[in-house]
């Protein structure tokens, strides 16, 4: 009797392990195998990224009218030259992971929206604001990391002027029906210096300085545009992973 009392728990234990293995067999997936990507260090590109600027030249960029860029290339960075206009990537993108680094001028000039203002316009029409918001109050739906005039950032993660800052942006492009009406809006997630500032928010339409955003149909892929807001903001390490 004593022996039976010892054997029964052992059998139950073994059956338990077999059941676990059987269950794992049903739920383990071995395909599709994710591609191998060699990661960067958070600022340098991973092996499958499209590099749009690595500090050596501005060949991947042009003015929206196709003319050469008017910005200056210096010390591995490209910097806005006042009133030469925005620049945009020659290549167009839809859904993507975008990394870029920017730096507001070390010398503080102006205040509110006139201090270290630029912007990254996803698909050349949806602006993620770039602004020196380090101890620089402004309207909150236009501060650093805002989807300009649409979404206030969750926090202010600004570094002091003159320091390099990072944006990591996950973007899903809007889709349009054949008649030009909206099928599904765009969404965006933004990390500023590694801190989440936009959590999968819905883009309401094209960025407007005045008035409400409005969707107008456009091709699935469009260029990335960097704004000239008359302040010498610099950029470096720009790369994209298409999704």
- The residues that touch Mg ion, with contacts defined as CB under 5 A, are 117, 119, 227
Instruction: State the minimum distance, in angstroms, from the CB of residue 38 to Mg ion.
Output: 34
147, 188 Cβ separation under 8 angstroms: yes
Of 137, 136, 67, 77, the C-alpha closest to 101 is 77
213-to-26, 93, 149, 170, 190 alpha-carbon distances in Å: 48, 21, 8, 20, 19
Read off the tokens for 107: 């010398």
Least separation in angstroms between residue 84's CB and Mg ion is 16
Distance in angstroms (rounded) separating the CA atoms of residues 171 and 96: 5
Smaller CB separation from Mg ion, 49 or 128: 128
Residue whose CB is less far from Mg ion, 117 or 222:
117
CB nearer to Mg ion: pick between 45 and 144: 144
Supply the minimum distance, in Å, between the C-beta of residue 175 and Mg ion.
26
Q: Which residue is nearest to Mg ion (CB)?
A: 119
Q: How far is the CB of 112 from Mg ion (least distance, A)?
A: 12
Residue closer to Mg ion by CB (options 104, 173) is 104
Residue 115 tokens read as 């201090």
Nearer to Mg ion, 45 or 129 (CB): 129
Q: In the chain, at which residue ranges do the beta strands (DSSP E only) sit?
A: 50-53, 61-62, 72-74, 77-79, 87-93, 96-103, 118-122, 126-130, 164-172, 175-176, 182-184, 187-192, 195-202, 222-226, 234-242
Q: Give min distance, CB of 218 to Mg ion, in A.
A: 20
**Residue 189 exposed, middle or buried by CB count within 10 Å (0-12, 13-18, 19+):** middle
Nearest approach, Cβ of residue 164 and Mg ion (Å): 18
């Amino acid at each position: 009797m004593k022996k039976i009392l010892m054997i029964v728990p052992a059998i139950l234990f073994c059956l338990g392990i077999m059941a676990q293995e059987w269950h794992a067999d049903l739920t383990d997936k071995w395909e599709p195998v994710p591609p191998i990507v060699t990661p960067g260090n958070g600022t340098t590109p991973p092996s499958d990224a499209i590099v749009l600027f690595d500090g050596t030249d501005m060949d991947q960029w042009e003015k929206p009218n196709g003319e050469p860029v008017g910005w200056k290339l210096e010390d591995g960075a490209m910097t806005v030259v006042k009133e030469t206009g925005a620049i945009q990537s020659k290549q167009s993108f839809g859904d993507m992971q975008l990394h870029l680094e920017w730096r507001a001028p070390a010398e503080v000039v102006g205040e509110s929206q006139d201090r270290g203002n630029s912007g990254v316009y996803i698909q050349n029409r949806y602006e993620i604001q770039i602004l020196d918001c380090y101890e620089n109050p402004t309207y909150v739906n236009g501060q650093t990391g805002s989807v300009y005039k649409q979404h206030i950032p969750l926090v202010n993660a600004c570094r002091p002027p003159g320091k390099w800052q990072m944006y990591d942006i996950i973007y899903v492009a809007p889709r349009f029906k054949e008649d030009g009406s909206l099928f599904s809006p765009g969404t965006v997630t933004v990390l500023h210096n590694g801190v989440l500032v936009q959590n999968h928010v819905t883009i309401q339409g094209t960025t407007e300085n005045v008035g409400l955003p409005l969707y107008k149909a456009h091709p699935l892929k469009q260029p990335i545009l960097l704004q000239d807001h008359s302040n010498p903001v610099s950029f470096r390490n720009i790369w994209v992973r298409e999704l």
